[in-house]
Structure 1
Amino acid sequence: MSNSIKNIIKDMTLEEKASLCSGADFWHTKAVERLGVPAIMVSDGPHGLRKQAEEADHLGINDSISAVCFPAACATAASFDVDLIREMGETIGNECQAENVGVVLGPAVNIKRSPLCGRNFEYFSEDPFLAGEMAASYINGVQSKDVGTSIKHFAVNNQEYRRMSTSAEVSERALHEIYFPAFEIAVKKSQPWTVMCSYNKINGTYASDNKYLLTDVLRDMWGFEGFVMTDWGAVDDRVQGIKAGLELEMPGPGTLNDKKIVEAVKSGALEEDKLDAAVEKILEIVYRFVDNHGKHADAVFDRDKDHDKAVRIAGECAVLLQNNGVLPIAADKKVAYIGGFAKTPRYQGGGSSHINSSKVVSALDEAIKRNRNVEFAPAFPIDADSITEKDLTDAIELARSVDVAVIFAGLPDFIESEGYDRADMKLPSAQIKLIEEIAKVQKNTVVVLHNGSPIEADWADNVGAILEMYLGGQGVGEATDKLLFGEISPSGHLAESFPCHLEDNPSYLNFPGDGRTIDYAEGVYVGYRYYDTKKMPVRWAFGHGLSYTTFKIDNLKLSGSIMTDNSEIEVSVDVNNTGDRVGKEVVQLYVSDRTGTSGRPVKELKGFKKVSLNPGETKTVSITIDSRSLAYWNSDMKGWYAPSGNYEILVGDSSDHILCSASVQNETRVLPPFKIDGATTIEELATDPRTAKAYEKMMNELAQKSGMFAAATDKENPDMMLVEMIKGMPLKSLASFGVDVDMEAVIETFQKAVGSND
């Protein structure tokens, strides 16, 4: 089709070309009827289809078609199951074909920098590797049905406060290690049809104008092939956007900006070839959907069948945070369901991803349907932070009279939504009071959480069990029932840390900024990278998740002990189900740099795998790592670099529970640039293999000229104070200590040793 598209573009007027670079309305690209160019529809909904026909908006205000709401990304990431999320993507792709939707706007992969970001429920994780792997699988699932995705929001959209104008001030290293990799992994593993750029500025330049972001990194470095569209209303300078690599402005019609593009071409400010390339990228995607749509003529949006999938997926995502044995609940137990969310669950977030759900079954509805021995006390409303004395008293008395009290707590819509950030990490005060009072009279108290992001839980030690359901989609009630009564075992693991208190979070002093800039001063120390490196206790760690059975992970083996620049090592462990129930465990592989390189977190996730085991069964799980798994972003090299030396391979079931480890020796032929000048220190010269020989010669000569250097280099009895002082001494300071040297000659000697005269 590529040659045909080029011919179509040749037949277009300049005005027609420009018009294709903006939408026709909220949800459609433009058609060119004269040339038979069709339009396609895009739709919100990373976790379901939010197709709107009339009264279109992008904030979830107006209704969309009846659809199936799957668990939000906060939940699906906790599944740690790439096959599961691919299946969810395939289902949504099929729904799109049935509804003639060409591109679904998602997944959203922005990093959970702070627990307060109002849109965290729509994002996968604080860890870029996990977010990228989950995103790639989702995209591959959707696109297997010949429907496109739009991975978003590229990049550094980590808060809602003034998201349309504020500038995220981020180091190059943090961008490449934390905020870019989820997009990179998805582009390289799944080639999303489109990428959606974010509203905000990055280091002073709007994402929509940012050539480094949209061309240098996205296309040239990663090989992205599709087109870039804006978030709705994110355009800044339309002509600069075209130059930077932004193809499509949404929503439309962008009449004013279309005219600016035409004027820029006519004046010579914009090369027409650049416009042609943008139009070609857009049309390639349009025709990719249109030309393949006929293959899916039999696609049916079976809402009941897809609802059943939503129930199953929700069950795989739930995280059992703690349990003293009260769960699962035996069938003969008398149970109290307490709290408004038991009857009306909060199962999705607010804003552009809000689904008009085809069916919602609450945990209470399901308990009644299943003839569970359950009584209900509403206690508190789901849309307010309040509780009456009577409702509190009634709930306490009911809890006192049963075997198990289950409190359904969580964050109401008015606390957590797109458009604004949370003020704190607490549950509503009425819910906290309820939990504390119930726990006083009922030792078998279970708290079921409906929330899209972490909460403070000072009350946790007083309750028997906590089951995190997140925003589990329209099937959350049925899934909760199966989990509480042991029909399935919880198998989710946290994709984000739950700090003890908000103040513990590394972004606390720099979130949300002053309204103009946000200082990402924590650099690469986001989430568990910070907590684990600082050895700071958290309420529940990244990767944490319990089960109704138990597991043993051991017998770690490596296919080799030496890594080179182009090699791989297979890491394998045995996983044994040591309990009496079927269950699933998540094996997590972390890498720890032991080379002495500064500024590296103590460990980073580089692999994971979920495995299902029958009681007593053992399976071997294998994960492959390569040199990139060991590397950090070296800003001097403008690339990834893994220094030679020792690395620890750590395997466990959470970031704070490592069960076995082994060492790998990395041997690289790559060395970073080394600029030699008067500020270069003695220690730098001593430790770099390119200058080590010249360093030894210089030190021997200095020892003959200076008593201080002689004392420091005495092999039998070196003066350690002088040794340490000299290590940090720059070359330019040698003359200050009475050493007669030709500094220019010394510097030139070392420059030749590293092959540079810079």
Structure 2
Amino acid sequence: MSTIETALAALDLETKVSLLAGQDVWSLPAVPHIGLGSLVMSDGPIGVRGTSWGPDDPAVVLPSPTALAATWDPALARRVGRLLAQEARRKGAHLLLAPTVNLHRTPLGGRHFECYSEDPLLTAEIGVGYVRGVQDGGVGATVKHFVANDSETARFVLDAAVDDRTLREVYLAPFEAIVNAGVWAVMCAYNGVNGHTMSENDALQNGLLKGEWGFDGVVVSDWTAAKTTAATALGGLDVAMPGPGNPWGPKLVEAVRAGEVPESVVDEMVRRVLRLAGRVGLLEGVEPAVPVRPEAVVDGDALAEEVASRSFVLLRNDGTLPLASPTVALIGVAAEEARILGGGSVTVFPPHVVSPLDGLRAQGVELTYEPGVDPRTKLPPAYGPEWTDPETGEAGFRMVFRDASGAELGRLLLEAAVTGWTGKMPAGVDGSLLDSVELSAWFRPLVFGEHRFGVGGIGEFVLTVDGEVLYDDKQVAYDDDPAAGILLHPETRVATTVEGPVLVTLRHKTWVRKGIGAVVGITLGHAEPGPTDDELIQRAVVAAAAAQVAVVVVATTEEVESEGFDRRSLALPGRQDDMVAAVAAANPRTVVVVNAGSPVEMPWVDDVAAVLLTWFPGQEAGAALASVLFGHTEPAGRLPTTWPVRMADCPVLDVDPVDGVLAYREGLFIGYRAWERRPVAPAFWFGAGLGYTTWDYESVTVTPSDALATVTVSLRNTGARSGREVVQVYLVPDAPAADRPSRWLAGFASVEAGAGEVVEVVVELPRRSVEAWEDGAWVTLSGGYTVDVGHDYGDTRLSAALKV
């Protein structure tokens, strides 16, 4: 009998059931008498938060998943995974809840930035690299959200109506590839698919995932997704999170004893949990999947900068880039306060942030800075040297945690007046006793006059400034979504005249969410007296006109791109478009840096010298930006999703369920597959991106292989410097069908070469690229194909024939 079977046989029913649900928000219980340790989970995918959601426990913050996919480099994704495994081990986590491989069905998807691509093959290749890297480090990866969780509106209750062919060929494809690569866990989605909520979906979880695909790992629920007892147990779920208080525990024990759930089903769930525990080294007598854990050797800061710079996509360039040490006018709020990540469960607190302003200053160029217009609808968190006690010199914000009697449970000193903890509180603070928190700091204004303060969060608040109560009221969540409740919180603004040092105090009575526990998420916003938007734009214009080059950083905000809600517009928030237009009119050498995780409209794109897309670039944002702008690094990224001219042009915009159902009526036609059928062209095709050199595609040969075919391409770097090219291979059937895409990505590979160098690239095409799901089986679409090889979907350089 194996160690796992021996351990299973030693457990009574109650203990077995206890292993199938969280003992708290992030972990499963230990069972010492069988040598089982407690398995700890942590959110990802761009950093390992650990069991605390607060600034007191920082972690390396990498660029957004859209940025990682823009590298088109599975090997780099694997290195990212290894870093995250290192971070997970440092934080005591055994299972990383990442990657997210839902697709860019529509640019309005709220978590678009957290997913890789509109294309299932690119998504699969990057996801496989990421998962292998995490598991190289002996930490489990959790591919999510299984399946059709491609938008946020009503995500807890919507039913995605998707035909079988579309499910198999598009939305399930990345999951299948990652399961075949050996992922250790899968997270089921909140939503339903074709009439059955995913936490109870027997056909997809038992029949397909565990049966047909042979997945031997754990299926874990999204947090609070499991709502029933017997139906979830019979539907293929293995672990219900979080706990305690979820529908399993004593209720599942009762269901087994009542004959509603066979004990053999529970045994199989426990067997999977024990197998995962063994793989991560938590079960005595089982050799871990990685017997010798790697040392902490990955330089997180360096890798974060490398991924960022390699992900940047140069969409337009008249030769202004790279910069040759000119005088620069740097413009934009996001240039000083970098937007490094999207909102939601991806949120991680970095140990530091290199802003674009920091990065450009480090280059030693002559630089002027103007913030321009502020795109945020909420006041920025209070921060800066003016928040310092005039007597003690202590800088920052004192956070005190109290119980119901007012007794102190613990305290922290924060650099900025923004906090966030769910379930587990900072070290030494007992969340079960927590009743209120108090945030306070001395404010020494640099400018006298009317200052604005913002109270952000959910619950009861009292704000006092210099002893005067300015706000005493309760704020409620916009809806029941915990992500929206914590991150898209309401804000109340108050104003008062400040003409000297004042003590500012924000008291907050905490709130409790069922299944999660105490929640602390508050922000003290602040804005000093300042000019109007028109005046700010005019200042930017004056600075731009006086410089050789203007660099304008535009950005979305957390109110635009976040988990918990979908977008309603692709326009940049605020008056940023007006600012870009005015600056470009004043200086023809205007470079626009687009700091967004997903597509935005760019009405000024033809009027500026260069456009550089930096996604959400992580903690080393400014260092990577400066390196690319000044040519130390080439912008090597390519678009993982098609960018429109206008939102109205997009083929798929539907994110709102009708009578609880979100119908995927477009079928296979999302992304470039759908744009091909539109009467208008996009602004930039899937796969697009320029570099600092040029390439000549000289020849292509296609050779049949055991899989399908091997495509060999010869390229020459015809520019004056070394560079990187992503060779993309598309298949075009000679006999197109109206109900199928006319062209699709079948393979890709990247190559680097010096100036004038000729290199050869080999791209393997898998059999699946010519298969379709018909009548419940995969069938080969036989016939002739044209193999298109090119720079992007809209730029074919070479073609060859293939017979299947």
Instruction: Give TM class, smaller chain.
Output: 0.7 to 0.9
Q: Structure 1 244/230 Cα, relative in aligned 2: closer, same or farther at 3 Å? A: same
Q: CA deviation at 1:299?
A: 3.8
Q: 2 CA distance for matches of 1:221 and 1:624? A: 25
- Do structure 1's residue 528 and structure 2's residue 672 form an aligned pair? yes
- Do structure 1's residue 537 and structure 2's residue 681 form an aligned pair? yes
Contact 1:29 1:39 in 2 (8 A): yes
Which amino acid in the other structure matches residue 572 of structure 1? T
Q: Tell me the equivalent position of 1:311.
A: 305
Q: 1 CA distance for matches of 2:366 and 2:656? A: 47
Q: Tell me the equivalent position of 1:89.
A: 81
Contact 1:227 1:248 in 2 (8 A): yes
CA-to-aligned-CA distance 1:508-530 (integer Å, 9 cap, x gap) = 2x322236111111110001001
SS of corresponding position for 2:272: helix
Q: CA deviation at 1:648?
A: 1.6
CA-to-aligned-CA distance 1:133-187 (integer Å, 9 cap, x gap) = 1000001011001110111000000111110111111111111111111111111
Q: Structure 1 423/477 Cα, relative in aligned 2: closer, same or farther at 3 Å? A: same
Q: How many residues align?
A: 647
Q: Tell me the equivalent position of 1:328.
A: 322
TM-score of the superposed pair, with normalisation by structure 1: 0.83
Deviates most, 252-261 or 291-300: 291-300
1:243 corresponds, among 234, 250, 265, to: 234
Q: 2 CA distance for matches of 1:173 and 1:297? A: 42
Q: Tell me the equivalent position of 2:619.
A: 474
SS of corresponding position for 1:506: coil
Q: Structure 1 594/607 Cα, relative in aligned 2: closer, same or farther at 3 Å? A: same
Contact 2:64 2:341 in 1 (8 A): yes
Query: What pairs with 1:279-298 in structure 2 (closer than 5 Å)?
Result: 279-291=270-282, 292=288
Q: Tell me the equivalent position of 1:136.
A: 128
* Structure 1 residue runs without a partner (length 5+): 54-59, 667-758
Q: 1 CA distance for matches of 2:163 and 2:732? A: 22
SS of corresponding position for 1:524: coil
Q: Structure 1 206/294 Cα, relative in aligned 2: closer, same or farther at 3 Å? A: closer
Structure with the larger RCO, 1 or 2 (CA within 8 Å, 6+ apart): 2
Q: Structure 1 225/365 Cα, relative in aligned 2: closer, same or farther at 3 Å? A: same
Q: Tell me the equivalent position of 1:100.
A: 92
Which amino acid in the other structure matches residue 587 of structure 2? Q
Q: 2 CA distance for matches of 1:431 and 1:213? A: 45
CA-to-aligned-CA distance 1:620-657 (integer Å, 9 cap, x gap) = 111122432112221x1x12222321112111111111
Contact 1:93 1:147 in 2 (8 A): yes
- Do structure 1's residue 459 and structure 2's residue 451 form an aligned pair? no
Which amino acid in the other structure matches residue 427 of structure 1? L
- Do structure 1's residue 381 and structure 2's residue 374 form an aligned pair? yes
Contact 2:116 2:123 in 1 (8 A): yes
CA-to-aligned-CA distance 1:495-552 (integer Å, 9 cap, x gap) = 00001221222222x3222361111111100010011244630011100000110011
Query: What pairs with 1:267-286 in structure 2 (closer than 5 Å)?
Result: 267-286=258-277
1:601 corresponds, among 732, 741, 747, to: 741
- Do structure 1's residue 648 and structure 2's residue 642 form an aligned pair? no
Q: 1 CA distance for matches of 2:176 and 2:290? A: 32
Contact 1:95 1:299 in 2 (8 A): no
Q: 1 CA distance for matches of 2:371 and 2:364? A: 19
Contact 2:226 2:247 in 1 (8 A): no
- Do structure 1's residue 425 and structure 2's residue 556 form an aligned pair? no
Which amino acid in the other structure matches residue 224 of structure 1? F
- Do structure 1's residue 346 and structure 2's residue 339 form an aligned pair? yes
Structure with higher helix content: 1
Q: Structure 1 421/294 Cα, relative in aligned 2: closer, same or farther at 3 Å? A: closer
1:639 corresponds, among 770, 777, 780, to: 777
Query: What pairs with 1:347-746 in structure 2 (closer than 5 Å)?
Result: 347-381=340-374, 383-384=376-377, 388-508=533-653, 510-514=654-658, 516-534=660-678, 536-560=680-704, 567-634=707-774, 636=775, 638-666=776-804
Contact 1:320 1:492 in 2 (8 A): yes
Contact 2:229 2:255 in 1 (8 A): no
Q: Tell me the equivalent position of 1:171.
A: 163
SS of corresponding position for 1:433: helix
SS of corresponding position for 1:270: coil
Deviates most, 588-597 or 652-661: 588-597
Contact 2:375 2:574 in 1 (8 A): no
Which amino acid in the other structure matches residue 25 of structure 2? F
Q: CA deviation at 1:109?
A: 0.6
Q: Structure 1 298/112 Cα, relative in aligned 2: closer, same or farther at 3 Å? A: closer
Contact 1:507 1:520 in 2 (8 A): no
Larger Rg: 1
Contact 1:344 1:382 in 2 (8 A): no
Q: 2 CA distance for matches of 1:153 and 1:95? A: 22
Q: 2 CA distance for matches of 1:135 and 1:294? A: 20
TM-score of the superposed pair, with normalisation by structure 2: 0.78
Contact 1:51 1:64 in 2 (8 A): no
Q: 2 CA distance for matches of 1:415 and 1:568? A: 43
Q: 2 CA distance for matches of 1:241 and 1:519? A: 24
* RMSD, matched Cα: 1.8
SS of corresponding position for 2:714: strand
Q: Structure 1 432/136 Cα, relative in aligned 2: closer, same or farther at 3 Å? A: same
Deviates most, 91-100 or 423-432: 91-100
SS of corresponding position for 2:760: strand
Q: CA deviation at 1:660?
A: 1.1
Which amino acid in the other structure matches residue 642 of structure 2? S
SS of corresponding position for 1:240: helix
CA-to-aligned-CA distance 1:15-69 (integer Å, 9 cap, x gap) = 111111111111111222444422111101111111134xxxxxx6x44621100
CA-to-aligned-CA distance 1:536-570 (integer Å, 9 cap, x gap) = 3001110000011001123110114xx8xx65321
Q: Tell me the equivalent position of 2:148.
A: 156
Deviates most, 112-121 or 530-539: 530-539
Q: CA deviation at 1:231?
A: 0.5
Q: 2 CA distance for matches of 1:176 and 1:505? A: 24
Q: Structure 1 569/535 Cα, relative in aligned 2: closer, same or farther at 3 Å? A: farther
Contact 2:773 2:779 in 1 (8 A): yes
Contact 1:209 1:236 in 2 (8 A): no
Q: Tell me the equivalent position of 1:706.
A: none
SS of corresponding position for 2:619: coil
* Structure 2 residue runs without a partner (length 5+): 283-287, 379-530
Q: Tell me the equivalent position of 2:407.
A: none
SS of corresponding position for 2:280: helix
CA-to-aligned-CA distance 1:299-342 (integer Å, 9 cap, x gap) = 4487xx311211111111000011111111111x1111000111
Q: 2 CA distance for matches of 1:275 and 1:356? A: 38
Contact 2:153 2:655 in 1 (8 A): no
